[in-house]
Amino acid sequence: MEKLILIGGGGHCKSCIDVIEGVKDFEIAGILDTPDKVGTEVLGYKIIGTDNDIGSYAKQGYYFLITVGQIKSADLRIKLYEKVKNAGGKFATVISPRAYVSKHACIEEGTIVMHDVLINAGAKIGKNCIINTKALIEHECIIKDNCHIAVGAVIAGEVEIGENSFVGANTTIVQCVKLPSKAFIKAGSLVK
C-alpha cells in the first residue's frame, strides 16, 4: 500500500476518508491543514502539518490527495494542486470500490470517485476533480480539470464541462451540452 497524505481536514475530508478506507491501494499517513488544527484528528487520522510541509512529504515519496471541498470556486484546490506539483509530489487517483467505472473511461490524477458513482464508456475525467456520491457520468462525457460534480448529478451523453466548474446536487445536464470554464450550476438545475 502506498502512503497517502490528505490536504484539508474539513467535511469533504471525512467523506474522502470513508472512500479511501475501502481502497486497497492507499494507506492514510496523515492530514495537512491550518496551523491551529495540527495535533487534532479527523476520524482517527492525525493532522500532522500544514501545506508548508508538502515539499518534505513529496521528497519522501508520499502520494497526495486534495480533500478540500469545492463549491463557489476551485481556486484553493488549484493552488494546492500546483503546490504539490511544484514540489515534485505524486497524486493518488482514488475510486470507491462501490463505484462503477467503465474500462473504456479515463480518470486522471488527483481525482476522487465517491461511492455509488457510475462512469460510462468513453468518458474522460480530468485532474483534481471530485465526482461525488451517486453522480452519473454518461458515455463520451468530458469533465475537464478541477471540477466538482456534486451528489446525485446526472450528466447525459457527450456533455463537455469546462475546467474549474461546479455542478450542484441533483442537477441534470441533457446530452451534448457544452459548459464553459468556471461554470456554476446550482443544485436541482435542469440544463438543456
Q: Which residues of the chain have pLDDT under 70?
A: none
The reply to whether 28 and 13 lie within a common domain is yes
Residue 192 covered by a domain: no
Spacing of C-alpha 158 from chain mean position: 21
Q: Which residues contact 32 (CB under 8 A, 6 or more apart)?
A: 5, 6, 7, 8, 9, 47, 48, 49, 50, 51, 53, 54
The CATH number given to whatever domain includes residue 177 is 2.160.10.10
Range of the domain at 142: 93-185
Tens digits of residue pLDDT in 4-32: 999 999 999 999 999 999 999 999 999 99
Task: Give the pLDDT confidence score for residue 189 in this predicted structure.
Answer: 97
How many domains does the chain fold into? 2
Domain boundary among 67, 92, 117: 92
Task: Give the pLDDT confidence score for residue 72 in this predicted structure.
Answer: 85
pTM for the full predicted model: 0.96
DSSP three-state, residue 7: strand
